Amino acid sequence: MRPILLIIILLAACLPASAQSAHERAARMGLGMNFSYLENWWLGKKEKGYSDLTSAGAAKKKEAEFAKIARAGFKTVRIPINFGAWASLEKPYRWTSPEGLDIAGRFVKAALDAGLIAIVDLHHVEMDRSVKAADSTDRVAWIWKEIASRYKDLDPERVLFEIRNEPHDIEAGAWRKQAEAVIKTIREVAPKHTMVVGFHDWNSRQAMIDSKPFDDGNIIYTFHYYDPFIFTHQGATWAGPGLPDLKQVPFPANGNAIRVPDKARGTWIAERIGNYREDSDAVKMFDDLKAAKTWSEKHKVPIFLGEFGSFGKYAKLADRCRHAEAVYSALGRLNIPSAWWEWDAGFSMYDEGTTKIAPCMQKAIDLFTIADQ
């Protein structure tokens, strides 16, 4: 063999997994679902650092759900996992509750056995935010070094690493530094796996649009879209002032005034209530998602909508389905892969009182494929 040819072959072999992989993998993700459970730190006890958030019985039952997600037609599952709950807070870091890791491993395996693409998502590493060091760059990087080592032999075509869900209370620049450190750590251990990376401000769409991609070519960029927030989060106790008391917000706006809950007066929630007619317009929502797509095209990087959905506590199913239709049809037209939040808890697509996807939700899901053709 001519030496120059040999050098080219050797150089090609040394190249990191190409940007092409990220594009191809994103193109295969299609319809996805979030499988919440292993991120629920609040199921554990504070004095145990929430490490006891899982129970063996519940985890076993949950494992069976992956096959159901696949049977429902989803191609991808995003698995939010609070790996931080099982690791020490101080250096030298170590796993304090490895049982949680075993359950996480079983979930990933169950997803792969069901034929799904699995996104291993480090979720809520900051937990209740009472311990500042919980989400330090050193700790997050240590967690990823360990997790990537555990999963590095799993098929890179079907296992992706999402470095951190919804970083918040962190400036854009500080997040960028943390993300760069984590990306580098993972890349050293797992050269071929695609990473899923979002930006500060809760993985917001705007934060992504305001940011630049990272140097690593094998990344799918993610953002979350819960607009219009006063519709998707009416009744939510964790998401904003007055939301727990917000009820009967229809989708889209129907001309009736929405009462501003006392606790929401003068806040951003009141502002969103005032803007609800515009915010719930499907054309405006399409334009929002189009702006994300335009960012991806400008930078020639693939994107993935990692979370969207609506809380079912007060929102009526018919309204939730109309909202899902608006988002799914836009995603189909723009060809953006996505994952609905969430499979079998408060944001689920189930018909009331059942564990079956409601027919009007199925109609909304189908719009993704129809619009994509």
CA dihedral 251, 257, 261, 264 (to 10 degrees): 80
50 binds ligand BGC (CB under 6 A): no
At 182, list the tokens.
């984590």
Spatial CB neighbours of 245, under 8 Å, sequence gap ≥ 6: 261, 262, 263, 264
Spatial CB neighbours of 327, under 8 Å, sequence gap ≥ 6: 225, 285, 289, 308, 338
User: Which one, 302 or 306, has the nearer CB to ligand BGC?
Assistant: 306
Which residue of 341, 349, 357, 364 would you call a contact of ligand BGC, by CB under 6 A?
A: 341
Strand-strand pairing, 31-34 and 76-81: parallel
User: Which one, 191 or 235, has the nearer CB to ligand BGC?
Assistant: 235
CB of 123 to ligand BGC, least distance (A): 6
Strand-strand pairing, 117-122 and 31-34: unpaired
At 276, list the tokens.
């609800």
83 binds ligand BGC (CB under 6 A): no
Spatial CB neighbours of 217, under 8 Å, sequence gap ≥ 6: 16, 17, 18, 19, 22
Integer Cα distance of 15 and 32 in angstroms: 30
CB of 41 to ligand BGC, least distance (A): 10
CB of 203 to ligand BGC, least distance (A): 8
User: Which one, 66 or 225, has the nearer CB to ligand BGC?
Assistant: 225
User: Which one, 165 or 218, has the nearer CB to ligand BGC?
Assistant: 165
CA angle 342, 347, 350 (to 5 degrees): 90
User: Which one, 67 or 170, has the nearer CB to ligand BGC?
Assistant: 170
Other C-beta atoms lying within 10 Å of the C-beta of residue 260: 19
CB of 89 to ligand BGC, least distance (A): 21
CB of 239 to ligand BGC, least distance (A): 6
User: Which one, 51 or 203, has the nearer CB to ligand BGC?
Assistant: 203
DSSP string of 162-229, one letter each residue: E--S---SS-HHHHHHHHHHHHHHHHHH-TTPPEEE--HHHHBHHHHHTS---S-SSEEEEEE---SH
Which residue of 121, 135, 166, 216 would you call a contact of ligand BGC, by CB under 6 A?
A: 166
User: Which one, 156 or 167, has the nearer CB to ligand BGC?
Assistant: 167
227 binds ligand BGC (CB under 6 A): no
User: Which one, 123 or 164, has the nearer CB to ligand BGC?
Assistant: 123
User: Which one, 158 or 164, has the nearer CB to ligand BGC?
Assistant: 164
Spatial CB neighbours of 120, under 8 Å, sequence gap ≥ 6: 79, 81, 104, 108, 147, 151, 159, 160, 161, 162
Integer Cα distance of 131 and 260 in angstroms: 34
Count of residues in the chain: 373
Q: Which residue, among 371, 229, 367, 223, has the nearest Cα to 295 in the 3D structure?
A: 223
Size of the site for ligand BGC (CB under 6 A): 7
CB of 166 to ligand BGC, least distance (A): 5
307 binds ligand BGC (CB under 6 A): yes
CB of 221 to ligand BGC, least distance (A): 17
126 binds ligand BGC (CB under 6 A): no
Region 26-45 residues binding ligand BGC, contact defined as CB under 6 A: 39
Spatial CB neighbours of 113, under 8 Å, sequence gap ≥ 6: 66, 67
Which residue of 43, 89, 154, 239 would you call a contact of ligand BGC, by CB under 6 A?
A: 239
325 binds ligand BGC (CB under 6 A): no
CB of 125 to ligand BGC, least distance (A): 11
Region 104-123 residues binding ligand BGC, contact defined as CB under 6 A: 123
Instruction: Please report, as ranges, the residues that interact with ligand BGC according to CB under 6 A.
Output: 39, 123, 165-166, 239, 307, 341
